[in-house]
Amino acid sequence: MKVLVADRISPKGVAFLKEQDGFEVVEAYGSSPEKILELVTDVHAIIVRSETKVTKEVIEAAPSLKAVGRAGVGVDNIDIEAASNNGVVVMNTPSGNTIATAELTFTHLLCGARPVAQACASMAEGKWNRKAFSGIELNRKTLAILGMGRIGSEVAKRAQAFGMEVMVYDPFLSESRAKALNVEAVELEKAFTEADFITVHMPLTDSTKHLINEESIAKMKDGVRLFNCARGGIIKESALLEALESGKVAAAGLDVYESEPLAEDSPLRTHPNVVLTPHLGASTEEAQESVGLEVAEAIKDVLAGGVINNAINMPSVDAKTLAVLGPYLDLGGRLGGIVQQISPDSIEKLVLTYYGKIIDFDANALTRSILHGFLRGIHGENVNYINAPIFMKQLGVEVEVVKSSQESDYTELVRVEAQTASGDRYDASGTLLGTNHVPRVIGLNGQAVETSPFGFLLVLRNQDLPGMVGVLGRLLGEAGVNIAAMSLSRDKVGGHALTVLNLDSEPSKEALSKIQEEKAISDVMLVKLPG
């Protein structure tokens, strides 16, 4: 088995691979894209960090390729779709840099409170200017942590040890989990308006990009201090710079940037109240050793036919079980995604119920597929089939799996239900139709429907009145959105109806607003699913 180590990892990781019988290890650090294409023609696995790009061209040039291992978390440099299409498993190492990134974040917090870096630079110039470098204490200050995953939780522990009051914004964090961590769960508005320090620990998604911008900074305290060691783009750099110039933001610390490397002429580089580091979140000896060894062990397991660990694009399941459950994995992920989007952000429990022959097998892979679908809209690329249960636990959401022998109208059925602390329930049920195993949603929020779980679903709760279909058709038609299919369900004549539309394209916010303005329509939800 030939393993290409394209980017430098811990020597212990490389040594581990070389110790394996039948393994040939090729170290090719700093190779050009052209050289990588030459080297991959007969490799079985590739190990990278963030430098080497594993593109579709690279994957298709490697007919023997079975696995790509990323020594780190982000997989932006790997074409996941191309890997999946070519049967290549992609793995990352999500836990190895947790402490390193948390400690770097806290280093930035301390440097934001006390201008140590600036004072050091002044001393290096031969100056002795004590008055110019006055700071503040962390003790009794309020820290807002935006995103309470592994790293955010570790930052909270350190902040509490320094006597800080910790508030947390994470719409998916349950009340019980917040209580266990001894933090105050707040809405984003309160985090912005009441915090003295704000640090972000979220994935970069459509909803988190430029979360901190001109508008949100305007709501903050004068003299607030901002920090980002998560993903570039969560803080809008132009807005941050403007706030630093005006004094609205007293200090900032950044390890990640909207475009990396940060431009040499960026004004952030020379601003006196900013401390910058060149994406050092995982750059400790311990973290590098941990992720290097972790990715090496994962590659060895795959090539030796063992367990697949930290897979991004496939579940861990044996061939016999996969033959039966395989068609249900995609269905489960789609049902999980639907329930996440139709339920409130904060839930207490997720109940997964399986009917039919599914209950005769180990349904672990199906469970993980549902959780992965549920979490994909929350954690983005950070979630996979392996760490999905861990993320659910971090959110404080209880997951209950029920294998039911009760008869249903379908031979096999999967039902996903989210429950809130107040007892509200939101559910989606699905099955597979025909010999081609076509996924279908056959129930939403307790009402019977039949719809395809692909692309854009417009879910409406409305009064059962004549002409409603025409109204929807007209409004969507005016917006240039075509209706591909429609499913209607009602509790009684003239009562409440559930309408589900499959759309060919995403309607604009303006179009959705016009639909919501209709008096007979009470709820409008747009569900986005993979095509």
Sequence spans of domains, the chain: 2-94+287-311, 98-276, 315-452, 454-531
**Adjacent-strand bridge partners of 276:** 254
Three-class SS of 45-71: EEEECCCCCECHHHHHCCCCCCEEEEC
**What is the Rg, in whole angstroms, of the alpha carbon atoms belonging to the chain?**
26
Thinking of the domain 454-531, which architecture would CATH place it in?
2-Layer Sandwich (3.30)
Element spanning 528, H or E: strand 521-528
Q: What is the pLDDT of residue 136?
A: 97
**CATH assignment of 98-276, given 3.30.70.1290, 3.60.20.10, 3.40.50.720, 3.40.50.620?**
3.40.50.720
**CATH assignment of 2-94+287-311, given 3.40.50.2300, 3.40.50.720, 3.40.50.150, 1.25.40.10?**
3.40.50.720
pLDDT digits (tens, 9 = 90+) for 264-310: 999 999 999 999 999 999 889 898 889 999 999 999 988 886 567 77
Identify the CA nearest to 7 among candidates 87, 71, 86. Answer: 71
Average pLDDT over residues 431-454: 91
Q: What is the pLDDT of residue 34?
A: 96
Query: Which residues are designated catalytic?
Result: 231, 260, 279
Q: Which residues contact 429 (CB under 8 A, 6 or more apart)?
A: 335, 413, 414, 415, 416, 441, 442, 443, 444
pLDDT digits (tens, 9 = 90+) for 358-408: 887 767 788 988 999 999 888 776 676 666 887 888 889 999 999 888 877
Indicate if 315-452 has the same CATH topology as 98-276.
no
Confidence of residue 316 (pLDDT cuts 50, 70, 90): low
3-state secondary structure of 418: strand
DSSP for 469-501, written as a single string? HHHHHHHHHHTT--EEEEEEEESSTTSEEEEEE
3-state helix vs strand vs coil in the chain, percent to 5: 35, 25, 40
Sheet containing strand 425-433, strands side by side: 398-404, 349-355, 413-419, 425-433, 438-444, 447-451
Tokens of residue 220, six digits? 């903050």
Distances (CA, A) of 342 to 153, 213, 349: 27, 28, 15
Report whether 2 contacts 26 (CB < 8 A).
Answer: yes
3-state secondary structure of 3: strand
Look at 232-241, 242-251, 311-320 and tell me which has the smallest mean pLDDT: 311-320
Thinking of the domain 315-452, which architecture would CATH place it in?
2-Layer Sandwich (3.30)
Angle at 329 between CA 323 and CA 331, to 5 degrees: 125
Tokens of residue 268, six digits? 């952030």
Single-letter residue type at 50: S
Look at 136-150, 218-232, 295-309, 374-388 and tell me which has the smallest mean pLDDT: 374-388
Where does 296-451 show beta strands of DSSP type E? Answer: 349-355, 398-404, 413-419, 425-433, 438-444, 447-451
Identify the CA nearest to 252 among candidates 211, 208, 217. Answer: 217
